Structure formats: structure tokens, C-alpha cells
Structure 1
Amino acid sequence: MIHAYDKNYLSKAQNNLASMLDFAVYDLEEDLSHFYLKFLQSKICSQFERGESTVIVGKSGVELALDIIGDETLASKYRPAANRTPEYWCGWALAYFQWQTNLGFKEINNYISISEILAMYSPYHEMDISQFCDKMIELYNKRKNNTNLKALRLDAGLSQSELAEISDIPVRTIQQYEQNQKNINAAKAETVVKLAKALNCTVEALMEAV
């Protein structure tokens, strides 16, 4: 599996997303869902999920929250938390899942809301992070109606037979990938490159979370 960015940045990323949500909710008194929507709509979101050092290493979670709100004068509201809150865990766990799967935050939010992740605090905060990730992947795959291949094919306005002709990949093989009878992540590089070229997308866009 291709991770979102260098693992050396992961711990800092987790702490930043965690403290960002904690500060927004408890010190700025923002509604979690409303603030998270602001995060998704900000340029910080795409920078964060790509692992840009200026965002992950260059700023604290509090600074990220202030950038999203657009008011640095609110920094005076920061009060160090005595204990790690459910919102802190929510950000910490979500950052790990995003790094592990290389899914964008918006893509994750399309199927699993931030409030639902917060509701997973009990019992998952007491478990290994891998168990949280397994649950997230289960929910994501269950709710996602189409594989990336099928979604991209439909977006391109192609039938399976048309894609087969353009890519020189058998129709049956395309059907098996679209129906998850075969794992496209385990496909030969040549096959995925042909499909990506035919669909005018990147190889990564065809990969699934699991």
C-alpha cells in the first residue's frame, strides 16, 4: 500500500490534526462538524494530506486552526488541555488512517463523517490503531458503491467493451476488477498503466484503499 507521505512526518501530523480539532472545539467553541467542513474547504486540507512540511512540521495544530478560522488574534484563547479529549483522539486516529490509506480527507468524508469517527472513540481509543483502521476500511468499502475503475470509466462515458478496446484489456478482466472479483491493487503494472492511459488518469487513482 502506498502511504500518503513519509512516515517520519506521521507522528507530528497526528498530533497536529488532534490538537487542531481539540483547540477548535474547546477553546474556540466551534462545532466539530462545522469546523471540519471549514478544514475540508481550506487549502490546508490538501497540503496536509500530501504531507507538506510547511503545514505538518512548520506549524502547530493551534496555528492551523487559526489559519482556517482566519483570525490569529484568537490565539489568546488557547488553554493547554489537562487530558486528551475524544476530539483529540478523533484527529489523531483520522490522521493515521489518512496516511495509511492515502485517501483524501474529502474522499473519506464522503462516506464517513467526522461525527461518526468521534462516536468511535469508545471503544476504539483503547484499542490498537490498526483495529480502528480496519473498521474504517470496512465502512468505506461497504458504503462505496463503485470501484475507482468503474467510477472513472463512467465519468469518461465509456462502456466496458469500449474501455477494453481502447486499453487492450479483456472485457472479462475489466468486469472482474469492477466487481472486486480481482484486486486491482495486485494487477500487473502493465495492465494498470494501460487502463490509466485509456481513462486519462493516474495509476494511483485506480488503486483501492485495500
Structure 2
Amino acid sequence: MTTGTEANGGALLTASGALIEQTSFATIDAEAAPHAYDPDQWTLVRRLIHASGDFDFNGLTCFHPRAVAAGIAALEGGSPILCDVEMIRAGLSRTRMAEFGLAAHQLIDRPEVIAAARAQGTTRAVQAIRFARREGLLDGAVVGVGNAPTALLELIRLIREEDARPALILGMPVGFVSAAESKAALATLDAVPWILVSGRKGGSTLVVAALHALMILAAARRSEHA
């Protein structure tokens, strides 16, 4: 059964679309294995399953204890969203973003980022994170990493060595080189809240789904206090 929180997300859908979404969530609830997620966490995990058709995310998805609350507070406060690739930025609902005055940024295609990566022999993803730090876009941001493990590893380094403080990290890079390892490293952080998908699975679609889930939770909190 769809919760009231999930129903708030349906306001962006037609009646037919909302019915399909509600039926999908009801199917996921019925078919999912038992889990230990709290209701807010399950709202997010269920959307990952819905976006991927993969029930493995019931179990692979891990939460820092402060993650959901930090994400909601950051989005309510209009924090920037920093994306490792354009696919995440393009997938975000403009209507949901506008509700909170949010802006999403993707820096991997910036000429100076590309030039720095070539000059220093690093990936563009690494240089994009460094550029975000220099430009003041990293501290207080919600950072979504769905494709580039090197971006996540650089972000962790900046947190540990340079006291960078994003509001929340969505660590969900997909792949076979350093993806699982970068997320295992993220799981050791306590200073910054995170939500991650363990192992090799991940991707931009999951980061988008997680961000939408957090926006829906934030909208529900706003309605409760209106």
C-alpha cells in the first residue's frame, strides 16, 4: 500500500500514471523480502527498486544514521546538488527542484576541468570534485555519484585531509574498477552522512531515484508543518 509520503510524489503524475506508480509500489511491498529499514529509508529503497526492477537493493542499500535527516534538511534549505555526470542532472524533476529552489551542477565537461585532468594525468571526475571545492560548491552540497568511483574517492580524500563538508553523499557508482572499493571506503566515514549501494551495482538512475525520494520526504515534512 502506498504511504501518504509516496502519494505526495504522485501530485506530479496524471491519474493513470499515479495508479501505475501506486500499483508498482504495492507490488514491491508485497514481493520484497523482510527488511530492517525504517519507513523513511524504505521510501528511498523502494524507489531504487522501482527504478531498476532489482530487489537486490533491499539489502545492498546502506544508510549513515544521520543520512535521511541530513538530506531532507539540505534540500529544504536549498542546498546545491552536485552531480558527477550530466545524466543525473538531466534526470531530476524540474517541478520538484523548483519547489525548494534547488539547482543541480555538473562540472565534468568544464574546459578547465578537462585541461587539468590532461595536465595532471587524472580523471575528469577527480578534477570536477576539486573544481567544485575551489568554487565553493562542495561544502553544504548534496553530492550524487552514480558513475565515477574516482570522484567518490577524491571526495573522501577531501573530507579526510581538507575538512570538506558536503551535507550528504549519495555514493552509488556502478562498475568493475574501484566501484565497490570506493563505496566501502565511504562506509567508514562518520563526519559526513552518506547513503550508498554496496558492491558493483549502482548508476545515475539510482542517484536520481534517491534524490526524488528525499525531495518527496522533504515535501511531506513541509506539509506536516504547514
TM-score of the superposition, structure 1-length normalised? 0.22
Please identify the structure whose Cα radius of gyration is greater. Answer: 1
Bigger strand fraction: 2
Bigger helix fraction: 1
